[in-house]
A and B are shown apart, each in its own frame.
Chain A
Amino acid sequence: MFEKTGVAAPEMVLEKFPSVERINRGPVAVVECYQKIPCNPCQTACPLGAIEIGDDINNIPQRDEELCGGCGLCVSKCPGLAIMIVDGSKSPDSVEFRIPYEFLPLPAAGETVLGLDRAGRPLCRAKVLKVLNPPSFDRTPVVTLEVERKYLYTFRNFRREAEEHG
């Protein structure tokens, strides 16, 4: 199905996630790269050597969940915008996501937005905590959102909708 729709199946997604124990310890990258394509900026971007592709640029990146510090430098460098950071250390009820978002207008911290799943379907409310867009991100802003924990494996995007407020 993935090759027909672009929407990864739940079991594929699950395989890319670090352990819950690791997520609860603090921020860590989820690299949703499922296809062998010639691309390696994530490996180059990682200051800790936590993402490995190896000599063959077509290899699928392997993220070491123990080495990864969840700094997020890879998020805005991935040409496929396939990386996000998850952090389950803040609360037992919610998870923080850091996702790339290349659309205008950008949301503001404190705003409530509509959380979407991998097929762009409405999923939940999400609270915007922070929007980072420094020059080093080269116009791929990264948005931090707080999402209910039960959407850990399904939340992937959001839509800013005025009528969604309140």
Chain B
Amino acid sequence: MRITEHPILRFDRGKELSFTFNGQPMKGYEGETIAAALHAAGVKVLAKSEKLHRPRGFFCAIGNCASCQMTVDGEPNVRTCITLLREGMKVESQEGKGRLQ
């Protein structure tokens, strides 16, 4: 899902990082957001809605809409579309409002 060749842009990806998504090991790059790294790995469903448990993905990618909230290193409601990926992050999909661990 990554663009390697582009007529206008060059993507200088940072260092490769390891993180987990629901316990599964994943790879991403330094300088990208959690949501971008997940999307590149084919993960579009980030959470489930509170009442109807409908799947949620990101919508705005600039931190406005709250559709991308996940639990990161135990902290719920992290806006993954604007939060940079870090080495060893534990990313979990979230049901509704999430829970403080």
Residues of A within 8 A of B (CB): 102-105, 139, 141
Contact = CB atoms under 8 A, between A and B. Distances in A.
A106 B6 CA distance: 11
B10 to A, nearest CB: 10
B1 interface: no
Contacts of B7: 102-104, 139, 141
B100 interface: no
Contacts, number: 10
Nearest to B9: A139
A141 B8 CA distance: 10
Interface in B1-45: 5-8
Nearest to B5: A104
Contacts of B6: 104
Contacts of A103: 7
A3 B6 CA distance: 30
Contacts of A141: 7
